[in-house]
């Protein structure tokens, strides 16, 4: 007799006839909580709920490890969670295949199993790199994002786009792999340098411009408090931006449609990061400049009212973000930027799609932007007569 506690599977799959088509099928829907909390204990509570096996492997960077991770590990330990910590060097240079392979090798020699939780605790570099490692290790283990930067909280932590950079193009090696949860601790954001707050704010301005006039107006109103890293202002910002990002991603989570408003500012922004060597220009700074370039193209075409263009560029200026090529803080030759866009054409099915703003909350996707238009927009110091 087979014991009652043995799981028995009984299938009767018929053999198909010679003329019957054979079709592979796979359907998956992922949902995950995005929690906005304040404090280490609240962060540990949320992570504990995501780790039914009681074991975690935390990937962070050396800066975050010194600032936050020791306290988080202690809080997890009090909740009966066993955790290990691996810290990579901070900075965009760590978002590389060599780093990912090193993490995979460390996991392979560890006791981390298929159902244990990998926790990515850091900024966009850590979230993207550790997320891609989670997608590859054992064909995918669960992971949670604990962003420690504003850009991470409002963008990189949400949406399941995980990748590492290549010298040819940013995010060239990656996957779509959703986390099991996101825990954004607002207290972590109060320890950031002002430049990191501004860079993260660029991604929120982008979301407001493409989809939420209410969010855009709230940034204009709350800007001074946000830049001063006021906890209440940051909480409002992260909550609103996270909800907006979740809604936008849900419409096309795997980018089947390459005409994505979320790419606003990223077409030129990614090219700028590539030609400047991934590091001197922060991602949010490159996106801010990319938004200004796209706005100049739209303005030159007569697609956007000058007053609306002025409103965007003025907000970038007030936020301390670059809107002219000379403000990037690193040499970015316009010819090299245009050349780098060639690889982006390849990634995007041979077409260079620009997200061009029409109004706050309204954009158009154009695939006929010429190199000449891009050159003019790159060279322009600011839109004529605007943001002076």
Catalytic residues: 139, 161, 203, 245, 255, 259, 263, 266, 270, 283
CA atoms of 138 and 119, how far apart (whole Å): 16
DSSP codes, 223-278: HHHHHTT-HHHHHHHHHHHHHHHHHHHHTSTT-SSS--GGGTTHHHHHHHHHHTTS
Phi, psi dihedrals of residue 10, rounded to the nearest 5°: -120, 110
Query: Quick one: tokens of 137?
Result: 């290790």
Helices and strands in the chain, H and E counts: 15, 10
Other CB atoms within a 10 A radius of the CB of residue 203 amount to: 26
Q: From residue 241, give the alpha-carbon distance in Å to each of 12, 155, 193, 202, 288.
A: 50, 8, 20, 11, 16
Q: Is 364 exposed, middle or buried (0-12, 13-18, 19+ CB in 10 A)?
A: middle
The number of angstroms, rounded, from the C-alpha of 323 to the middle of its chain's C-alpha atoms is: 21
The number of angstroms, rounded, from the C-alpha of 26 to the middle of its chain's C-alpha atoms is: 26
120: which residues sit within 8 A by CB, 6+ positions away? 59, 60, 126, 127, 129, 130, 131, 134, 143, 144, 145, 146, 179
Tell me the angle at which helices 266-275 and 283-300 cross, rounded to the nearest 10 degrees.
Answer: 130
Find, among 178, 163, 154, 181, the residue nearest to 245 by Cα: 154
What is residue 198's DSSP assignment? H
């Amino acid at each position: 007799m087979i014991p009652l506690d043995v799981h028995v599977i009984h299938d009767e799959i018929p053999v198909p006839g010679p003329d019957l088509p054979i079709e592979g099928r796979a359907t998956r829907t992922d949902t995950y909580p995005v929690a906005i909390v304040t404090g280490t204990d609240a962060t540990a509570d949320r992570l504990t709920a995501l780790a039914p096996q009681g074991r975690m492997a935390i990937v962070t960077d050396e800066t975050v490890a010194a600032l936050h991770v020791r306290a988080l590990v202690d809080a997890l330990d009090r909740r009966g969670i066993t955790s290990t910590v691996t810290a990579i060097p901070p900075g965009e240079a760590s978002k590389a295949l060599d780093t990912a392979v090193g993490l995979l090798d460390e996991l392979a020699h560890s006791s981390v199993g298929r159902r244990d939780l990998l926790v990515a605790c850091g900024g966009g570099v850590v979230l993207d790199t550790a997320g891609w490692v989670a997608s590859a290790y054992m064909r995918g283990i669960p992971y949670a994002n604990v962003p420690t930067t504003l850009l991470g909280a409002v963008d990189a932590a949400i949406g399941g786009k995980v990748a590492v950079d290549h010298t040819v193009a940013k995010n060239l090696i990656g996957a779509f792999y959703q986390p099991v949860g996101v825990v954004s601790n607002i207290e972590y954001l109060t320890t950031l340098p002002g430049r990191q707050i501004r860079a993260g704010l660029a991604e929120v301005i982008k979301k407001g411009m493409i989809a939420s006039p209410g969010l855009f107006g709230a940034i204009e109103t709350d800007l001074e408090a946000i830049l001063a890293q006021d906890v209440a202002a940051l909480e409002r910002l992260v909550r609103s931006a996270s909800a907006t990002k979740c809604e936008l991603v849900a419409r096309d989570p795997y980018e089947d449609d390459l005409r994505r408003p979320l790419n606003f500012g990223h077409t030129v922004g990614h090219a700028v990061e590539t030609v400047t060597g991934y590091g001197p220009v922060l991602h949010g700074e490159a996106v801010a400049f990319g938004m200004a370039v796209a706005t100049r193209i739209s303005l030159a075409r007569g697609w956007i009212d000058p007053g609306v263009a002025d409103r965007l560029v003025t907000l970038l200026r007030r936020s301390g973000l670059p809107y002219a090529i000379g403000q990037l803080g690193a040499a970015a030759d316009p010819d090299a930027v245009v050349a780098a866009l060639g690889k982006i054409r390849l990634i995007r099915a041979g077409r260079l799609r620009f997200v061009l703003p029409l109004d706050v909350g309204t954009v158009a996707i154009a695939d006929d932007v010429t190199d000449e238009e891009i050159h003019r927009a790159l060279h322009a110091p600011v839109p004529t007569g605007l943001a002076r």
